[in-house]
Amino acid sequence: MTITSGSSDLATLAERYAEDGFVLVKGLLSKEEAAFYRQRSHDLLALLHRADDPTWAAAREMTDAPTKLQHLHDAQFYDAAFSRLLVDPRFTDVAAAVMGVENVQLHHTKLFVKPPENGSPFPLHQDYPFFPHKYHRVGAAIFHFDDAPVEKGCVRVIPGSHKEGPREHDPEGSYHLPDVPFDSAIPQPAEAGDVLFFTYLTVHGSGVNVSEEARTTWLIQYRDPADPPTVKTHDFSLGQGMMLRGVDPTGRSGV
Ligand SMILES: O=C(O)CCC(=O)C(=O)O
């Protein structure tokens, strides 16, 4: 479901998210802001000389040619511009509305640059097995800092897949879903400034960037602070538990 930000209210966004498991909010950032963050993202990766490649092993099986991915966890710890985005009400109000809560807490963030011509794909998966929570009030927002048409390897989702709940995953594997055909996921082409919100139960992935331009995104994973993790995992992210909106009524009991 695609929604143009100015013309929609939060209740409509929440309804669509509940039905489809995702919602693409158009123009949450202006084109100028997106261009600013695109530049900051590329500058940060160059400054920090990050050479490790997080391409999944299963992604290597999706294409014959070798692919590459650049990434940075916790960009807000390296550049204050990203900290500002974390608490921007244009983002946090939607995150709260789609989860149906008042309070929004940071889980982690990931900056991704899919380089031109061979930017790595992501196999279909749920985010759930990486950091399971009791009530499943956990979601992601992917900020697009440049256009992400299909040929740039935009994100794909299976609408309504969240309703089936957690799926069987191979705990020894990379948590992808080899039995779900990649083509069953619907591409969500986006423009610079658009933000894709989805639940951590929504089956999603993305294709190879075969275009001549990089695809630049920032993924913020957030949760309801009253939803405790069921497994102590993925707690290495810097700043996990920071409040992005409202208060933590639990006194951090779930951390
Ligand atoms: O950015 C993408 O193409 C997908 C990222 C993703 O699915 C993830 O990090 O879980």
pTM: 0.95
Instruction: Count how many domains the chain has.
Output: 1
Whether residue 111 is contained in a domain is answered as yes
120 — phi, psi (to 5°)? -65, 145
Residue of 106, 100, 164, 108 lying closest to 137 (CA atoms):
100
∠ at Cα 76 (73, 81), nearest 5°? 135
pLDDT at 253: 63
Whether residue 255 is contained in a domain is answered as no
State whether the beta carbon of 112 lies less than 6 angstroms from ligand 1: yes
Residue with tokens 């020894």: 172
| Structural domain boundaries enclosing 201 | 2-245
* CA torsion through residues 160, 141, 123, 58, sign: negative
- Where residue 82 sits, what CATH number does that domain have? 2.60.120.620
Distance CA 157, CA 206 (A): 8
Torsion of CA 206, 215, 76, 27, to 10 degrees: -90
Whether residue 83 is contained in a domain is answered as yes
* Best probe residue, ligand 1, of 70, 108, 112, 209 (max atoms within 8 Å of C-beta): 112
The helix/strand/coil state of 224 is: coil
pLDDT at 131: 94
Residues contacting residue 126 through CB under 8 Å, at least 6 positions apart: 161, 166, 167, 169, 175, 177, 200, 201, 202, 203, 204
pLDDT at 2: 58
Whether residue 254 is contained in a domain is answered as no
Whether residue 55 is contained in a domain is answered as yes
Q: Is 210 exposed, middle or buried, given 0-12, 13-18 or 19+ CB atoms closer than 10 A?
A: middle
State whether the beta carbon of 218 lies less than 6 angstroms from ligand 1: no
State whether the beta carbon of 127 lies less than 6 angstroms from ligand 1: yes
Query: Both tokens of residue 15?
Result: 């309804």
> DSSP code of 252?
S
What residue's CA is closest to ligand 1, atom 10?
127
For residue range 216-227, list pLDDT tens digits in order.
999 999 999 999
Whether residue 251 is contained in a domain is answered as no
Q: What secondary structure, in 3-state letters, does 13-78 show?
A: HHHHHHHHCEEEEECCCCHHHHHHHHHHHHHHHHHHCCCCCCCCHHHHCCCCCCCECEEEECHHHC
Query: Both tokens of residue 123?
Result: 């196999």
Cα–ligand 1 centroid distance for 122 (angstroms): 6
Whether residue 87 is contained in a domain is answered as yes
Cα–ligand 1 centroid distance for 125 (angstroms): 9
pLDDT at 4: 58
Cα–ligand 1 centroid distance for 251 (angstroms): 31
**Which ligand 1 atom is at minimum distance from the Cα of 130?**
10
Taking 50 as the pLDDT cut, the residues of the chain under it are 5-7
Whether residue 78 is contained in a domain is answered as yes
State whether the beta carbon of 37 lies less than 6 angstroms from ligand 1: no
